[in-house]
Structure 1
Amino acid sequence: MNSNDWIILKTIAEELSITKAAERLFISQPSLTYRLNKLEKEFNTKILFRHSNGVIFTPQGEHLLKYSKDMITQLNQIKQDLVDMDDAFDGTLRLGVSTTFAKYNMAPIIKAFKDRYPNANIEFFTGASTMELSEKKIGEDIDIIIRRGDIEWTGKKHILTEEPYGIITNHSFEFSDLASMSWILDDSATITKSESEFLKWWDEAVKLQRPSKIIRVNSIETCIQLSSHGLGWTVVPKIHTTGKRNLCFTPIIWPNGDMMTQKTVMLYKEELLKFKLAETFINFILDEFSNKQYNIDHI
């Protein structure tokens, strides 16, 4: 078993399909199947079962998969250690960034950092905070995560922004009007628990019958488009109204005067700070946001 086999098992686990894993690894399906058969002979055990919807790992396969992931992490760490011994900025810093944060903030930050440190090598991918930017990925595929929504995390965590949630319509309104209008609700609100938090606020602050006319969609952009055309109202963080002057944004305020807010946090393991590129980038990000008015006082 070698590093190529580690990558093969990890990729199959992510795709749950021999065909898709082969395509992603740019090898033929027969070649991948042959390598799996060799591994099963080497360890004298069945690694996975194939079924109509893909594959499933056996308990023995799960054990080998865990070993493979651990070895990939260790190998990446050794490579990074060796790079940093020679030149702090020859290494690669891997970022996982919220799609929303990337859309509104990431490009100027990376541009400014690269202008200051032209030899720095940074890779990043974007994804949904809840589904694709799990804290479990830190150290395995990603060095630093910048995601929307606060979570429990035992490593280092910094709050970069905190912005208000608000009700969006294309006209002014009274809260009593909302119950008779359509609530345009993004499906992710259930996952992020913002739907339940909003309903709790509604019960405590508005104290009227809960909205019953609900249109469920699968993106915040759709919520905003429907609201901007007068087809109902929606609840989103303020950043999504950037550049949309035809919308009315009404912050959601709890009876005690606090605002309902959305945080953007940066997460990483403390040991990452021993690498100069990582430490430099983290300090750069923190300085960038401490100098900007990205908080609930500026709505």
Structure 2
Amino acid sequence: MNEKDWILLSTLFDEGSITKTAQKLYISQPALTYRIKQIEKEFHSEVIKRSKNGVTFTNEGEYLVNYARTMIKELRKAKDNIINMKEEVHGTLRLGVSSNFALYQLPLLLEGFLAEYPNVEINLTTGWSPKIHELLEKEEIHIGISRGEHHWSGERIVLNEETLCVASKDKLHINDLPKLSLIRYQTDFHLKNTFDEWWQSSFNVPPKVSMEVDRIETCKELVKKGLGYALFPSISLRESDHLYTADLVMNNKKILRRTWLLYRKELLGLNIIKAFVRFTKAFYLASE
């Protein structure tokens, strides 16, 4: 097997489908099937079983998937270390970033970083914070930028913290919220749970949910049209939105949400990691 085979096996295990794997890897289904047969021939073992429900890996196949993922990690480490032997900062930085941070703050951060280190390439994955932690644990990314309180045993630095708030087109009173229309959007479990805890501590009736949308920006546009109110992390709001906002308070304290920079201490031996951590810390300290 080679690197392409490792990636093929790992992707096929995640997707569970020949069709989806072929599409994701930009290869034909016959070519993918041929490579599986060659792997089976090399190891004299059946790797997968196909059915109407997709692909199932045999015990031998699962062993090879674990081997493939280990080899992918080791190859990445080897490439990182070889590049690090040169003095200049260059190579590929694998970042995992919370969706809201990526939408509202990451472009400016990356613009400054790449202006200072033009020989760096960014491999970026965005998603909700639990996904970013999962990628860190699997060592599929070098650095994560996560929001909210999640367990992480490695190094972490607070980049900023913001309030959570209610926002509407017109001024409102918090006590009137149960009678007004709430617009909800999909978000990670931890933020949703925080909103729910605040509501339950403030009211003894459920909210009057009038709309549910998949994106925070869609929700904000609906609020701007006066179609209801919503609960937002303040990172997503700008003065140009012209919305009335009021911070959420629980136990006589404003509810705060932190943004964290997460990484493993041992990776600071890599020039590219050290440079990004140093730059990001300076960027946020300077903006305070």
**1:264 and 2:259 correspond:** yes
Identity %: 34
| Distance of aligned partners of 1:203 and 1:103 in 2 relative to their CA distance in 1, 3 Å threshold | closer
Mark the runs of 5 or more structure 2 residues left unpaired by the alignment: none
3-state SS, counterpart of residue 254 of structure 2: coil
Alpha-carbon distance between aligned partners in 1 of 2:186 and 2:21, rounded to the nearest angstrom: 29
How far residue 222 of structure 1 moved from its aligned partner, in angstroms, is 2.1
Aligned length: 288
Report the equivalent of 1:196: 193
Q: How does 1:149-168 map to 2 (within 5 A)?
A: 149-168=148-167
Query: Bigger shift: 136-145 or 215-224?
Result: 136-145
1:47 Cα shift? Answer: 1.7
CA drift at 1:243: 4.4
Helix, strand or coil: the match of 1:184? strand
The reply on whether 1:220 has 2:219 as its aligned counterpart is no
Q: TM-score, normalised by structure 1?
A: 0.88
Is 1:134 matched up with 2:136? no
Change (3 A) 1:138 1:124: farther
- Cα deviation, residue 67, structure 1: 1.0
Letter in 2 for 1:165: L
Q: What is the DSSP-based 3-state SS (H/G/I as helix, E as strand, rest coil) of the residue aligned with 1:249?
A: strand
Question: 1: CA distance between counterparts of 2:276 and 2:136?
Answer: 19
Q: Any idea what SS the aligned residue of 2:141 has?
A: coil
Between the aligned partners of 1:176 and 1:111, the Cα distance in structure 2 is 43
SS of 1:82 mapped into structure 2 = helix
Partners of 1:178 and 1:108 in 2: CA distance? 35
| TM-score, scaled relative to structure 2 | 0.91
* Structure 2 residue identity aligned to 1:38: Q
Distance in 2 between residues matched to 1:31 and 1:260, nearest whole Å: 54
8 Å CA contact 1:171–1:247 kept in 2: the answer is yes
> Aligned equivalents of 1:39 and 1:225: distance in 2?
52
Deviation at 1:116, TM superposition (A): 2.4
Matching of residue 282 in structure 1 with residue 281 in structure 2 = no
Aligned residue runs from structure 1 range 88-237, under 5 A: 88-119=88-119, 121-130=120-129, 132-137=131-136, 140-188=139-187, 191-204=188-201, 206-237=202-233
Distance in 2, matches of 1:269 and 1:92, equals: 17
Question: Which stretch has the larger CA shift, 211-220 or 73-82?
Answer: 211-220
Q: What code does the residue aligned with 1:266 have?
A: L
Distance change >3 Å, CA 152–CA 97, structure 1 → 2:
same
| Secondary structure of 1:75's aligned partner | helix
Q: Which runs of 5+ in 1 are unaligned?
A: 294-299
Q: Write the mapping of 1:33-72 to structure 2, written as runs, cut at 5 A.
A: 33-72=33-72
| Change in 2 beyond 3 A, CA 1:25/1:252 | same
